[in-house]
Amino acid sequence: MPTDTAIRARGLRKTYRDGRTRRDGDHRSVVALDGVDLDVRVGEIFALLGPNGAGKTTATEIFEGFRERDDDGGELAVLGTDPGRADAAWRQRIGIVLQEAAGFDLLTVEEVLRNFAGYYRAARPVDEVLEAVGLTAKRRSRTGTLSGGQRRRLDVGLGILGAPDLLFLDEPTTGFDPEVRRQFWDLVQDLRAGGTTILLTTHYLEEAEQLADRVGVINRGRLVDVDSPAGLGGRRHAKAVVGWRDQNGPQRLESADPTRTVLDLAARFGGEVPELTVSRPSLESIYLRMIETEESARPEGDR
């Protein structure tokens, strides 16, 4: 595996029984991952997007070594090792922050971190972790008294105790208010700046656009596209919408060359264009269009 690749999947496949049987007596199966090819580069933040049931969790749990792919489920290397045959030394190199962590309400923040530090051969100093996640002032507070944002910071603290090379963040800011979410984004960016590779799953498109170097969209177990947030689904080359106001009221025009359109408007108005706006499709609109297009392209009996 290339030394600049943290995760490399080729033809990754996973199927489940769905509990029903066909007329011939065989069990029905559900394809959770259908030949996924994916590279996550060392040092990047990679966001995996997709609707519920798309295969995000299955893929992530296979990467983490908590779930096995099919016997003929392709090839996978995470930090140079097949997670299905990984040893304890490999597990020391990854960190995991789940959607929900078990409660330790009666323990202080410091007690929780020191307890979990004992599981690592070379844990980061607890004081360093507390500072990294912004919980130094809360070190003696019982975890049951923490706010949602503070508790999520503790979850990340547990995830980075072993100084992981690769950190998995599963829906890390669900339920956060906007201010706390942005504070958490700063923490994630600081971790990446320190050299940690991060795989992030999220339903917040704004979060992916703010944090991710690249984004992958998965739907029905298939990887639809991988690109930067600015380029996903052809977004970089999509037509822009130019808006302005004239004597007839607000006007809007789709343009493949918005710079030329603005120059033409400036010449028409003799300078400043009233209420001028130029906007390209949002990441959310591109994402929804990709999901809808992929769904409509499937055979009717496969939807």
Tens of pLDDT along 235-285?
888 889 999 999 999 999 999 899 999 999 999 999 999 999 998 888 988
Q: Based on the domain organization, do 216 and 103 belong to the same domain?
A: yes
Note the pLDDT of residue 295: 64
- Whether 113 maps to a domain, the answer reads yes
HSE (CB half, 13 Å, CA atoms) of 237?
A: 2
| Residue 148: inside a domain | yes
Band (152; pLDDT cuts 50, 70, 90): confident
Q: What is the token pair recorded at 274?
A: 């009233």
Domain that holds residue 270: 239-279
Q: Do 113 and 160 belong to one domain?
A: yes
Number of domains observed in the structure of the chain = 2
192 lies in the same domain as 141: yes
Whether residue 222 sits in one domain with residue 140: yes
pLDDT confidence bin for 180, thresholds 50/70/90: confident
Domain assignment of residue 10, yes or no: no
79 in a structural domain: no
Residue 81: inside a domain: no
* 26 part of a folded domain: no
Residue 272 buriedness (CB in 10 A; 0-12 / 13-18 / 19+): exposed
Question: Is 7 strand, coil or helix?
Answer: strand
Answer yes or no: are the C-beta atoms of 143 and 107 closer than 8 Å.
Answer: yes
Phi, psi of 96 (to 5 degrees): -130, 130
> What pLDDT is attached to residue 21?
54
On average, the pLDDT of the chain sits at: 89
pTM of the full structure: 0.82
Q: Are residues 183 and 141 in the same domain?
A: yes
Residue 170 in domain: yes
Q: What is the DSSP string of 257-269?
A: -HHHHHHHHHHHH
List all residues 6 or more positions away from 116 whose beta carbon is below 8 Å from its beta carbon. Answer: 158, 161
Q: Is 98 within a domain?
A: yes
